[in-house]
Amino acid sequence: MEAEVAMTIQEELFSLQDTEYAAFQGKLIPSIVCKTIIGVRVPQLRKLAKKLFGSDEAQKFLGALPHAYYDENMLHGLLISEIKEFDECIRALDVFLPFVDNWAVCDILSPKVFKKNLNLLLPEIRRWAASNHTYTCRFGIEMLMTHFLDGYFTPSYLEIPAQIHSDEYYVNMMIAWFFATALAKQWDSTLPYLETKKLDTWVHNKTIQKARESYRITAEQKLYLKSLKQQ
């Protein structure tokens, strides 16, 4: 039954296919096989997710893992992002995250329910960030960056990504993105991580590069960051 429902949604996705966009996506996401990309644009995926959310069809689709197509995984991520009950959302994420195999699907995940449950979210972030699975770890760091660098910031939160030492490019890129954003939002707390060389060399230098590209970092700060680059 679940397979039949998935086929119905597959047919709807194929009706929205843009082959040129599929080819473009294939170049952006080299880690996935091009023939698994249908080529549905994100605004159309969001519209479809909103239409399907809450239906029996959507529930059965969420249970029909693994999906055959990249676009199905994108839709799955968007459906999870609509879940309004925190515990249900966490359960859905824990089922789905092991199947995430690229940065785009990982980064489309943005559950709306998290904003109202930050006290419950932090332990989950710690758990995800400690995962050996590339995109579970990346997701954890991204949620920390999204929700805990502003009003709910505590300097000790910087230790969560700082303690991650990975050989995975997409984990290290997210750590660098996190610290570049942290420099823009929490300069005084974040700068010592570069001054004392607490980050792996590649992450350290990529953090500096991304921060120096940011309009939220002053010219004076950018100059100082340049002086901290490791050889």
User: What does the pLDDT look like over 53-111, one tens digit per residue?
Assistant: 999 999 999 999 999 999 999 999 999 999 999 999 999 999 999 999 999 999 999 99
- Sequence ranges of the chain with CATH classification 1.25.40: 117-231
Res. 6 pLDDT band, cuts 50 70 90: low
* DSSP character at residue 65: P
Other Cβ atoms less than 10 A from the Cβ of 119: the count is 8
Flag whether the pTM goes above 0.85.
Answer: yes
Q: What is the mean pLDDT of residues 5-18?
A: 85
Instruction: Give the C-alpha separation, 210 to 214, whole Å.
Output: 6
Instruction: Note whether 211 and 225 are within 8 A (CB).
Output: yes
CATH dotted code for 117-231: 1.25.40
